[in-house]
Amino acid sequence: MKLSLRGEYALRALLVLGMNTDKEVVRIQTISDEQNIPKRFLEQILNELKVAGILESRRGIAGGYRLKSAPEKITLAEVIRLIEGPLAPVSCVSEKFYEKCTCPDEAKCGIRSVMKDVREAIVKVLEQVTVAQLCDRARMLEGQVANPLDYVI
């Protein structure tokens, strides 16, 4: 039931980019340094996110990456689906990547029924959480104020 390192790196990169929406772009090198990710590996991942329309980039000496849309619009579910494929533990219960399995009768499969519940549980979390919220959580854990309004008397 694991997320690959590739997927984890993608999320870590998005976290950095989400924390830096004030800047024009962020360089790969910066992300790589901040998050301990091999630079050449990260290049591939960021490019994939760009091709998919989640990031945009600027080339040349002042180049780098930035989020293409608002951090509130990007869910972790879409990112993981892009990098990893199905969120479902078995593809015979996947919404977006359905594949037939080898069991005698899918319609009567008890395991399938349970795995549907697991899939729903996973999707419920990951489709709800956006990059913006990811950043909020990070700020919260940093001991910073996530939302100053919470502190109004």
Partner DNA sequence: GCTATACTCTATCAAAACAGTAGAGTTAAT
Partner DNA sequence: ATTAACTCTACTGTTTTGATAGAGTATAGC
Residues that bind its own copies (CB under 8 A): 1-3, 8, 11-12, 15, 34-37, 76, 80, 84, 86-91, 101-104, 107-111, 113-115, 117-118, 121-122, 124-126, 129, 134-138, 141-142
In 3D, which of 70, 76, 66 has the Cα closest to residue 16? Answer: 66
- Beta carbons within 10 angstroms of residue 42's beta carbon: 21
Partner from DNA, its own copies, none contacting 11, C-beta within 5 to 8 A by type: its own copies
Phi-psi region of 74 (alpha: psi -120 to 50; beta: other; left: phi over 0): beta
Helices 5-19 and 28-35 meet at what angle, rounded to 10? Answer: 110
Partner from its own copies, DNA, none contacting 135, C-beta within 5 to 8 A by type: its own copies
Should residue 131 be labelled a site residue for DNA when binding is judged by CB under 7 A?
Answer: no
CB of 8 to its own copies, least distance (A): 6
- Beta carbons within 10 angstroms of residue 95's beta carbon: 12
Phi, psi (degrees; rounded to nearest 5) at 37? -115, 130
CB of 26 to DNA, least distance (A): 7
User: Distance between CA 98 and CA 90 in Å, rounded?
Assistant: 9
CB of 54 to DNA, least distance (A): 12
Which residues are near DNA by CB under 7 A? 4-6, 9, 25, 27-29, 38, 40-41, 43-44, 46-47, 50-51, 57-65, 84
